[in-house]
Amino acid sequence: MSRFWSDTVRGLTPYVPGEQPRIEGLVKLNTNECPYAPSEHVVAAIAAQGGEALRLYPDPQSTLLRETLASYHGVTQDQVFVGNGSDEVLAHVFMGLLRHPLPLLHPDISYSFYPVYAKLYGITTREIPLNATFEIEVQDYLNAGPNGGIIFPNPNAPTGVALPRAEVQRLLDGNRDSVVVVDEAYVDFGADSVAPLIAQHPNLLVIRTFSKSRALAGLRVGYALGHPALIEALVRVKDSFNSYPLDRLAQAGAQASVEDESWFRLTCDRIMATRNRLSLALQQRGFEVLPSAANFVFARHPGHRGAHVAAALRQHKVLVRHFSQPARIADFLRISIGTEAQTDTLLAALDVVLNPT
Ligand code: PMP
């Protein structure tokens, strides 16, 4: 604590890197990384940038990558913004588009960073509860009265439950006066993207990441798609903080990733197949498993406390994620989809933990 700290800084809690332990041999199913290596083309493109190229500053506008992403999504370059992971993109969104006197609406069970960014930028928020089956209830947002923006992940995190595109469409049709941010970090594992709706909805911003379905969490690349005016707001914020958001390696690696569609399809399919296997295996062991459209499942066992199961699995060197707040999800575990072998290890450890001799 320092007398030089502002009230905002006093209220912030530093990120505790407990979810990234430096221990060998862990089965790491706690932060939704991809269990497979990225495309070989990504590795080659990064290696090709080595040596002499690193002497020079990167392209401040990430032009080639933005062009590639624009044609991938069938939009124009001025509808694409890139940043150091979607967390940085989100930070710019909060700074540049969501600072509004009216409250920002978000689900009560959702990505934990949203309230953190809101606090940092002095944005008031209002939590809209998920319904009894842990779904986002669009009508509750439409009934909430005027708002300064709406943000939610789709599929939601940490539940993994997806909102159908028609429901997002209904939200957009009924909410035209504020920005709607749909965080599609996990969309590639079977959910509907609303990226095609940006043409008709100038208030829609879609956020994507390379961290999950493209196995590039370590490269830190995320992006936003939206009307050029929304993207322009993000560019203005970016230029004030750091006009070189992506380094050379990140630009080259991300571009090679978008160009390798077959690696991408194969990897998403493998993860979805393992997710189906894991969901079934958990149900057979008595777990309630929410229907997941993400690269993780959210599950609870009626006979075992979530905190206890997570701690016991850790003893077996298997890391899963447990949230003690809010109370409604305190007995759930969020388990990232690993390889088939990691899933075998997880299930064997669970059998010991659930049935101690
Ligand atoms: N949005 C959601 C919903 C997430 O779960 C995450 C990952 N923790 C992110 C955004 C940020 O991912 P990244 O910064 O790696 O792109």
Query: What DSSP string runs through 248-278?
Result: HHHHHHHHHHHH-HHHHHHHHHHHHHHHHHH
- 70 CA → ligand 1 middle, Å: 21
Q: Where are the domains of the chain?
A: 7-38+262-354, 40-260
Q: Poorest-confidence range of 49-53, 59-63, 289-293, 344-348?
A: 49-53
Return d(Cα 123, Cα 115) in angstroms, integer.
9
210 Cα nearest atom in ligand 1:
16
158 Cα nearest atom in ligand 1:
5
- 219 CA → ligand 1 middle, Å: 13
Pocket test for ligand 1, best of 109, 113, 214 (most atoms within 8 A of CB): 113
Residues in the ligand 1 pocket, defined by CB under 6 Å? 85-87, 111, 153, 157, 183, 185, 209, 211, 217, 222
According to CATH, the topology of domain 7-38+262-354 is Aspartate Aminotransferase, domain 1 (3.90.1150)
- 86 CA → ligand 1 middle, Å: 6
The answer to whether residue 290 scores a pLDDT higher than 90 is yes
Pocket test for ligand 1, best of 28, 87, 292 (most atoms within 8 A of CB): 87
Neighbours of 126 (CB within 10 A): 15
Q: Poorest-confidence range of 71-80, 239-248, 303-312?
A: 239-248
The mean predicted confidence, pLDDT, of the chain is 95
209 Cα nearest atom in ligand 1:
16
Given the structure tokens 């590039």, which residue do they identify? 216
Smallest Cα–Cα separation from 42: which of 255, 243, 294, 350? 255
- For residue 16, what pLDDT is reported? 64
The answer to whether residue 96 scores a pLDDT higher than 80 is yes
pLDDT, greater one: 317 or 243: 317
- For residue 11, what pLDDT is reported? 81
- 208 CA → ligand 1 middle, Å: 9
pLDDT digits (tens, 9 = 90+) for 161-213: 999 999 999 999 999 999 999 999 999 999 999 999 999 999 999 999 999 99
- Residue closest via CA to ligand 1's atom 4 equals 185
- For residue 14, what pLDDT is reported? 73
Mean pLDDT throughout 322-340?
96
**Adjacency order of strands within the sheet including 332-336:** 27-29, 318-322, 332-336, 296-300, 288-289
pLDDT digits (tens, 9 = 90+) for 103-142: 999 999 999 999 999 999 999 999 999 999 999 999 999 9
Mean pLDDT throughout 317-329?
95
Return d(Cα 183, Cα 193) in angstroms, integer.
10
Reported pTM: 0.96
- For residue 6, what pLDDT is reported? 84
Q: Distance of CA 194 to CAs 94, 209, 271, Å?
A: 20, 15, 22
Instruction: Read off the tokens for 296.
Output: 């993780």
CATH class of 40-260: alpha beta
222 Cα nearest atom in ligand 1:
16
Mean pLDDT throughout 148-167?
98
pLDDT digits (tens, 9 = 90+) for 15-59: 766 777 777 789 999 999 999 999 999 999 999 997 788 999 999
- Residue closest via CA to ligand 1's atom 2 equals 185
- 87 CA → ligand 1 middle, Å: 6
- For residue 23, what pLDDT is reported? 72
Q: Yes or no: say if 114 and 93 are a contact pair by the CB < 8 Å rule.
A: no
- 285 CA → ligand 1 middle, Å: 30
